[in-house]
Structure 1
Amino acid sequence: MTATANLLVDVDRLRPGMFIQLDLGWMEHPFPRSRFRLADDQQIDALRELGLRRVKVRADLSDPRAFDVPAEAATEAPHAADTTDTADAAHAIDAAAPTAAAVAAVEVAQAALTLAVRPAADAAVLRRERLRAQHESLARSERLHAQASRAWQGITRDVLQHPTLARDTATGLASAMVTQLCEDDSTTIRMLSEAAGTTSSQHAINVTVLSLMLARSLGLDEAQLHSVALGALLHDIGKLLLPDHLRHLDSDSSALAGREQREHVSQGLRLGMSMGLDAATLQVIGQHHELRDGSGLPQGLRGDEIARPARIVTLVNLYDRLCNPRHKGVPLRTPHEAQALLYAQRRNQLDTEVLTAFVKLLGVYPPGSVVQLSDERMAMVVSVHPMHPLRPSVLVYEPRVAPDDALLLHLVQETDLSVRRSLHPQHLPRAMLDYLSPRERVSYYFAHGLEPLPAQPVAA
């Protein structure tokens, strides 16, 4: 995949036919989606009313005719490529009318900003810029995660008495998460700094984020991604109707766990039908505990009898339950351990293609793994790029730098550095443990602009 061409265009220069991406939460704007092609001037007026000054435009998805402007307007565009100051060049291009020439100039300027060597630049200023971008990326992921958590809590609050309202909320949230995934080719999986929301909302969001990333890596189209997202969000909705002794198990006994699985699937289908969910979503709810070898519940389906979206959600659900167990007394597994256990103990029960793609997607060291680098330093994996799963972004233990001021180390750029091995957090000295702060419960969300793409391809 190649990086997409994103332009920042003044709202006053937007035209129908331009494909825009709104960097807003799904409840912060009036449009059905955050990523769409402008149809008329009324939609542009609505963007002005939101107080936006500039909007991200995807040139590759826009109607080329939307960039046509009168010749006299085109001549007013500054010659950004002639200036020696790259920051001024980017500003000049952003302010210019979005002509076809300006589109090309923006791509050149953006490449220069990414790849140019700035030997004379002040290292401290550069570091502050990188740290600010890093904090902004994390803050956006945490903000969107919090919005998703609030929406999930609204779904669980409304589903029994107002199932249609709950369906609309769930559909809106699923659509927003698909849009966030598809914003660009370099969407990454990011571990959040703190667990947010309730245990049930955290699980639902984790499963949805990872299922969507996995589904896209398997080549599912956008319509199928929506089915995966909605099914993943609602796969456990039936637990709301379980009796307390099944909702709050004190152990992972096979008898009780089996009964709990059968009943919450049955109740989930009942609620799903009352919400008016489509057949593809109901399949995910009804089949997310079925296993390839026929040992799953409730129907004992085998192989291709299980819908592909359900096979995806089944695997991710098992993975997240290993990292974030629901039952008391069940040991927490590190992300590295959870993935290894799935492969070693459950691979005959899981779809082979889906499991292989999952291991490739997260790499050997998923976000949340504590690792030792090849130069002996200790670090925690915070993000994995799907194009480079063996070269994650890590937070390195640097006792002379405060954790909040530590820059992430992107191994995709460090060709002489790699991960040597995974460690269990309990083996770390207290100082390292406090610094890296591995989470007892792991929360994931999408991130953008966190991991820079390399100038040259790096072997994964």
Structure 2
Amino acid sequence: MSANRKTQQIPLAQLVPGMFVVELDIPWMQSPFFKHSRMIASGHDINKLRSAGVKLVTIDLERGSAPQQVASEPVSAVTETQPLNASELQAPTQTHDLSPGFKKELAIALRLRSEVKDTVRSINEKLERNLPVDGEAMAPLVDKTLESLQRNEQALQTLAHLTGKAQKLVDHAFGSFCLCLNLAAVTGLAKEEMHALGVAALLHDSGWMQLPLHLMGKRSDYTAAERSLAQSHVELGLRMLDSANIDALSRRIIAEHHEMNDGSGYPKQLKGDQIHPASHILTVVNTYDEWVHHLNDKPGMLPTKALRVLYMHAEKGRFALPCVASLISMLGVYPVTTAVRLNTGEKAVVEEINPNSHLTPIIRIEYDSNSRPLRSALRVDLSMESANERSITGVLDPSSPDDDPARRLVATVPG
């Protein structure tokens, strides 16, 4: 017990509903919950902790029940072998079709993607020809995107992760636009700020049009001259937008989208509160999308690794930690399109995230336990699996012939 006797560490087997957990013995990234601090509401919460590998928890004795207060209650419900509520937790294996809401929104999101990309192409053409760009004309596009995200955010999240390589600037603008607005909504950014952020996300890399595009996604480290050239895209873009009808906040966000929370960014080495909250969002999203789609001079990363590295940097102060934590909570530890290996040996692709349990998404199984491609893919909701059945044990690389010999794990639009 702590010196002030307000907390106590107990084995998971002693945890019961009514206790308030403040610390776990696993890293935050492995937690089944967004926050370690949580009132235990049911046996379902305890089962999630057990599935995540938790052995010890620290409880707050003032905010929840203490062990002596519940000692008279049966504890067999939270032993390692028996869940609290068999009807709730021991659901049989269930296949899971794409939810109707997701299917319907995906069709809308596909049309919206075409509209966003057409808009970006049109803007880029105007900028190249020194024609005026009207930021206010983008407002309806921002509103449509926010409405789609409100109905089912995972449709646009899926498409943002499916961007290709043929048109790097357009694809990057689309992915950044969707994820920025999604994150802005999650973090409670004001409506006017969301609109400014949406415009900035569409325009933030305009300066790249005046640079050699082979530098975007270069297969080797930048030379000093190349790095200086690549970093000049911020100032070049702002100059190109001098005659554009965009508001001051959008311009500021564009100017700050490579500034880092610890002052290590560019071009002005701003830090902390010197950077607008919306700029922090674009910085985090821009970095994530660049890493996942290999848009700088470093090797591309799988989404799960990109989130992990972002979080490590945020803990050291490079990125705004609340922003990164919200992105992870939004996308899940295993973002949509992630290829995963199960404890059964099966291989699958993440298709939908369970908002209340980011370690147990809805997956599409493509390979059996012997790594043989299935004749027909099997969709399974891992949150409906018992603790002894399917669970994710690792992430796979679809570009590796060893991981995906039949090319079944490559991300595609779900159908």
What is the TM-score with the length of structure 2 in the denominator? 0.65
- Aligned mates of 1:335, 1:168 — CA distance in 2: 33
- Aligned mates of 1:409, 1:174 — CA distance in 2: 34
- Aligned mates of 2:136, 2:127 — CA distance in 1: 10
- Aligned mates of 1:394, 1:190 — CA distance in 2: 13
Pairwise mapping of residues 16-95 of structure 1 onto structure 2 (< 5 A)?
none
Pairwise mapping of residues 186-197 of structure 1 onto structure 2 (< 5 A)?
189-191=157-159, 195=163
Structure 1 position 195, deviation (Å): 3.8
Tell me the alpha carbon deviations over residues 1-43 of structure 1, each in whole angstroms, 9 at most, x when there is no partner.
xxxxxxxxxxxxxxxxxxxxxxxxxxxxxxxxxxxxxxxxxxx
Structure 1 position 331, deviation (Å): 2.2
Structure 1 position 382, deviation (Å): 2.8
Counterpart for residue 179 of structure 1: 147
Pairwise mapping of residues 37-436 of structure 1 onto structure 2 (< 5 A)?
137-161=105-129, 163-183=131-151, 189-191=157-159, 195=163, 198-242=167-211, 251-253=220-222, 255-256=224-225, 258-327=227-296, 330-345=298-313, 347-397=316-366, 399-402=373-376, 406=377, 408-414=379-385, 416=387, 417-425=390-398, 429=402, 433-436=406-409
| Total equivalences in the alignment | 312
Structure 1 position 376, deviation (Å): 3.3
Structure 1 position 297, deviation (Å): 0.4
Gaps of 5+ in 1: 1-126, 451-460
- Compared CA separation, residues 177 and 431, structure 1 to 2 (3 A): closer
Counterpart for residue 437 of structure 1: 410
Counterpart for residue 88 of structure 2: none
Counterpart AA for 2:123: I
Q: Do the aligned residues in 1 keep the contact of 2:134 with 2:246 (CA within 8 Å)? A: no
Give the RMSD, CA atoms, in angstroms.
3.5
Tell me the alpha carbon deviations over residues 335-360 of structure 1, each in whole angstroms, 9 at most, x when there is no partner.
11211222234642101111222222
Query: What SS does structure 2 have at the residue aligned with 1:285?
Result: helix
- Compared CA separation, residues 391 and 162, structure 1 to 2 (3 A): farther
- Aligned mates of 2:359, 2:97 — CA distance in 1: 26
Query: What SS does structure 2 have at the residue aligned with 1:380?
Result: strand
Query: What SS does structure 2 have at the residue aligned with 1:397?
Result: strand
- Compared CA separation, residues 209 and 134, structure 1 to 2 (3 A): closer
Q: Do the aligned residues in 2 keep the contact of 1:361 with 1:389 (CA within 8 Å)? A: no
- Compared CA separation, residues 324 and 186, structure 1 to 2 (3 A): closer
Q: Do the aligned residues in 2 keep the contact of 1:269 with 1:285 (CA within 8 Å)? A: yes
- Aligned mates of 1:195, 1:246 — CA distance in 2: 18
Gaps of 5+ in 2: 1-94, 368-372
Structure 1 position 295, deviation (Å): 1.2
Query: What SS does structure 2 have at the residue aligned with 1:390?
Result: coil
Tell me the alpha carbon deviations over residues 351-382 of structure 1, each in whole angstroms, 9 at most, x when there is no partner.
11112222222222122321123443211113
- Aligned mates of 1:288, 1:423 — CA distance in 2: 31
What is the TM-score with the length of structure 1 in the denominator? 0.59
- Compared CA separation, residues 257 and 384, structure 1 to 2 (3 A): farther
Counterpart AA for 1:310: S
Q: Do the aligned residues in 2 keep the contact of 1:237 with 1:268 (CA within 8 Å)? A: yes
Counterpart for residue 64 of structure 1: none
Counterpart AA for 1:255: A
- Compared CA separation, residues 184 and 370, structure 1 to 2 (3 A): closer
